[in-house]
Amino acid sequence: MQRRMGEAVARVARRVNETVESQGDTLDLADCKLVAFPAGIYKAVRSVTQGIHRISLANNELKALGARFATTFSQLRELNLEGNLLHRLPQELGSLLHLRTINLARNKFRHFPEPLVAAPALESINLEGNEIAEVPTEALANMSSLRSLNLRANPVCPAVRLLVRPLVPFELLLSPEGNVPTA
């Protein structure tokens, strides 16, 4: 067990160092068995945070993301958090002025993550495979940049299905009614 933990820590350190040394725009920490975003990363990447536009934390075991994440990576354009254990997002995520795409598929959201409606440049939201039954239709309709919302494999209630279609000016992806999981 300790050996696997050591390997995971080494993998994270190697990926962070690659991003810092290359001054790349992508920080890929997918499949690193993370249960939290390591605080030491903030210090390690401080010289390149403004240049990081893409972060992948997919397929970890994250249960939460702190406010510091959004304030540190303020130039973020793409955020992949697919396949974690998240059930809420920090309010500060809504202040990411350049965030265009967020993937929150296969997490534990029971409610639509409200901070997303405040993100002004958000074009694509993937919430497939969560436990969301209701969505803030009016708030979503006011998101002028939103082009695609994926709510497949969520127990979206029938009333929302009827209400959403005429209100939203973007592509809405829902599971067929017979294939919707129940909460």
pLDDT digits (tens, 9 = 90+) for 34-56: 999 999 999 999 999 999 999 99
The CATH fold of domain 1-174 = 3.80.10
Distance of CA 114 to the CA centre of its chain: 12
> Could you state, in order of their start, the residue ranges of all structural domains in the chain?
1-174
Distance of CA 141 to the CA centre of its chain: 20
Other beta carbons within 10 angstroms of residue 75's beta carbon come to 14
Alpha-carbon span 142 to 74, nearest angstrom = 23
E strand or H helix that includes residue 18: helix 2-22
Q: Are strands 101-103 and 124-126 parallel, antiparallel or unpaired?
A: parallel
Q: Which of 139, 149, 152, 142 is nearest to 170 (CA)?
A: 149
The pLDDT of residue 4 is above 70: no
The pLDDT of residue 162 is above 70: no
Tokens 């002004």 locate to 120
Alpha-carbon span 118 to 109, nearest angstrom = 18
User: Helix (H, G, I), strand (E, B), or coil: what is residue 20?
Assistant: helix
Tokens read off for 53: 């536009």
The pLDDT of residue 26 is above 60: yes
Per-residue pLDDT of 92-131, as tens digits, reads 999 999 999 999 999 999 999 999 999 999 999 999 999 9
Q: Average pLDDT of the chain?
A: 89
